[in-house]
Amino acid sequence: MTQGIKTYKGYEIHPLVYPRRTSSGVTHRNSLDSGYDASVRICRVGAKSIDDGRVFRLAHFRPFEGAGKARMACMEHATNVIDGHVDGQSVADL
């Protein structure tokens, strides 16, 4: 599945959504522990390398029920980071 790249205030936002690992460390899509975890990569528009950005993990106590919900949460978290509303997370030096 291709994940869309969005731009916001001169930054590219790349949602990173992946199946949650169970307590045994194995990834299952249909277990009781199933769901999705998410992170988001933020870099300047036109960055020459993917290493020019930074990855921020979304602190979420429970797995997201679906990949779409996880992607929406990535977008919201990224805009909050870019706007400076998340303590300890900044893109000011990118």
pTM of the model: 0.81
Range of the structural domain that residue 52 is part of: 6-82
Q: What pLDDT score does 54 carry? A: 95
Q: Is residue 56 part of a domain?
A: yes
Q: Is residue 25 part of a domain?
A: yes
Residue type, 3: Q
**Cβ neighbours around 64 below 10 Å, total:** 20
Q: Is residue 93 part of a domain?
A: no
Q: What pLDDT score does 70 carry? A: 94
Q: Is residue 90 part of a domain?
A: no
For 22-69, give the secondary structure using H, E and C: CCCCCECCCCCCCCEEEEEEEEECCCCCHHHCEEEECCCCCCECCHHH
Tokens, residue 2 = 């291709």
Q: What pLDDT score does 28 carry? A: 55
User: How far, in Å, CA of 33 to CA of 26, rounded?
Assistant: 10
Q: Is residue 24 part of a domain?
A: yes
Q: Is residue 94 part of a domain?
A: no
18 beta partners: 37
Span 24-73, pLDDT tens digits: 666 555 555 578 999 999 999 988 887 789 999 998 788 898 999 999 99
Domain count within the chain: 1
More confident residue, 9 or 26: 9
With 0-12 CB in 10 A as exposed, 13-18 as middle and 19+ as buried, what is 40? Answer: buried
Q: Is residue 71 part of a domain?
A: yes
Q: Is residue 91 part of a domain?
A: no
